[in-house]
């Protein structure tokens, strides 16, 4: 287990918010922005959900105190969505208001499809009064093109990703080609929404998104390209050197296993990296 914890460090910036801020400082020095994520999902008790909310408030405070260029990302099941929607909304509102006071931004990550509609409903219930909150859409879900159209019409800030959760074929595209084609169609729709963010390590998807932004008349400061900590660091710098805004998702905390597992599942090179190092 200790070896695995060590290897997870490739994808996770450390145990504490201050460990993560160290990583953010290094990114900022290269002109790269960050979004901080306190790892954790599926809180089971009110105490866990409230502790997670406190961590998010702490992140906002530490970002302001240290002056780093970072916003935050969070998951609603960590704030109690699975067992108390009222509590979850209350905590989310508190975090979004605190972020607004500190001129910062909160991205609501998207989890498995059991939570998609509830996550969107909660997001839209805050969105009109709180422009500093954004959402994530997953191109693997058949519904997402409709959701992207709605987001563009309502002026919502969206991060577009392919989707990291295993979903049934009835609601999700079964092949990579279909997920990719849906990504490009959603990117074209979201180029008409405010400050779209394209979260992917896939050069073909980045190219399609850049073309869509260009066609929509956006300039390089009107959108972001986002990647995950530990993946394609050289590419972040190339994109930044070409003048694009690049933001890296920097997760930290002790509840790293589900996140780490998703990274191993989605790309065999990540799994090989871990296996090779374990055997060495
Ligand atoms: C900033 C960010 C936030 C995210 N937030 C969410 C979220 O809220 N909800 C969610 O479900 N998912 C989220 N994800 C994960 C996402 O859904 C995908 O699971 C993950 O990004 C892998 O898909 P991909 O688009 O990077 O490309 P993949 O389909 O994994 O890879 C496609 C191609 O990209 C290239 N490539 C990929 N990785 C590498 C690499 N390390 N080195 C070299 N080439 C590479 C290769 O050519 C590869 O064939 C997020 C991803 C990012 C980047």
Give the pLDDT score at 3. Answer: 63
pTM score: 0.95
Tell me the pLDDT of the chain (280 aa) as tens digits: 666 677 778 889 999 999 999 999 999 999 999 999 999 888 999 999 999 999 999 999 999 999 999 999 999 999 999 999 999 999 999 999 999 999 999 999 999 999 999 999 999 999 999 999 999 999 999 999 999 999 999 999 999 999 999 999 999 999 999 999 999 999 999 999 999 999 999 999 999 999 999 999 999 999 999 999 999 999 999 999 999 999 999 999 988 888 887 888 887 777 777 777 666 5
The minimum-distance atom of ligand 1 relative to the CA of 269 is 41
C-alpha pair distances (Å), 266 with each of 87, 145, 173, 176, 180: 32, 22, 15, 11, 14
Looking at the structure of the chain, the number of domains it has is 1
Question: Is 109 considered catalytic here?
Answer: yes
Ligand 1 pocket residue status of 165, Cβ below 6 Å = yes
Give the pLDDT score at 23. Answer: 96
Give the pLDDT score at 79. Answer: 97
Ligand 1 pocket residue status of 38, Cβ below 6 Å = no
Rounded CA separation 213/209 (Å): 6
Write the CATH number for 160: 3.20.20.220
206 alpha carbon – ligand 1 mean position (Å): 11
Residue with tokens 């961590």: 55
From 159, 205, 247, 263, active-site residue: 159
Dihedral over alpha carbons 247, 252, 256, 258 (to 10 degrees): -30
Ligand 1 pocket residue status of 54, Cβ below 6 Å = no
Question: Is 9 considered catalytic here?
Answer: no
Give the HSE-up count for residue 223: Cα atoms under 13 Å, Cβ half-sphere: 28
50 alpha carbon – ligand 1 mean position (Å): 30
Rounded CA separation 64/73 (Å): 16
Ligand 1 pocket residue status of 267, Cβ below 6 Å = yes
> What are the DSSP E strand ranges found in the chain?
33-38, 70-74, 106-108, 133-138, 158-161, 197-199, 224-228, 246-252
Rounded CA separation 159/125 (Å): 18
Do residues 228 and 193 lie in contact, with contact meaning Cβ atoms separated by under 8 Å?
no
**Which residue has its alpha carbon closest to ligand 1 atom 38?**
201
Return the number of other C-beta atoms located less than 10 Å from residue 102's C-beta: 14
Give the pLDDT score at 277. Answer: 67
Q: Determine the structural domain holding residue 106 and report its residue range.
A: 2-279
Give the pLDDT score at 8. Answer: 76
63 alpha carbon – ligand 1 mean position (Å): 26
Strand (E) or helix (H) holding 279: helix 268-279
Give the pLDDT score at 30. Answer: 97
Give the pLDDT score at 272. Answer: 77
Give the pLDDT score at 20. Answer: 96
176 alpha carbon – ligand 1 mean position (Å): 12
Do residues 65 and 104 lie in contact, with contact meaning Cβ atoms separated by under 8 Å?
no
């Amino acid at each position: 287990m200790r070896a695995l914890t060590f290897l997870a460090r490739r994808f996770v910036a450390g145990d504490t918010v201050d460990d993560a801020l160290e990583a953010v400082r290094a990114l900022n020095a290269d002109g790269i922005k960050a979004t901080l994520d306190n790892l954790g999902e599926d809180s089971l008790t009110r105490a866990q959900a409230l502790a997670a909310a406190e961590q998010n408030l702490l992140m906002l405070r530490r970002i302001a105190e240290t002056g780093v260029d970072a916003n935050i990302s969070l998951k609603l099941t960590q704030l109690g969505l699975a067992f108390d929607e009222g509590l979850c909304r209350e905590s989310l509102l508190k975090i979004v208001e605190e972020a607004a006071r500190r001129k910062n931004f909160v991205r609501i990550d998207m989890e498995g499809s059991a939570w998609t509609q509830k996550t969107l409903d909660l997001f839209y219930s805050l969105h009109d009064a709180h422009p500093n909150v954004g959402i994530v859409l997953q191109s693997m879900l058949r519904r997402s093109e409709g959701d992207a159209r709605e987001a563009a019409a309502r002026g919502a800030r969206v991060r577009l990703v392919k989707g990291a959760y295993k979903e049934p074929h009835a609601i999700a595209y079964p092949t990579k080609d279909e997920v990719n084609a849906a990504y490009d169609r959603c990117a074209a729709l979201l180029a008409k929404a405010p400050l779209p963010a394209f979260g992917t390590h896939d050069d073909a998807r980045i190219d399609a998104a850049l073309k869509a932004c260009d066609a929509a008349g956006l300039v390089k400061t009107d959108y972001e390209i986002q990647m995950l900590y530990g993946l394609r660091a050289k590419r972040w710098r190339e994109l930044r050197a070409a003048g694009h805004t690049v933001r890296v998702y920097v997760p930290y905390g002790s509840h790293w296993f589900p996140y780490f597992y998703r990274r191993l599942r989605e790309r065999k090179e990540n799994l090989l990296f871990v296996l090779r190092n374990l055997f060495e």
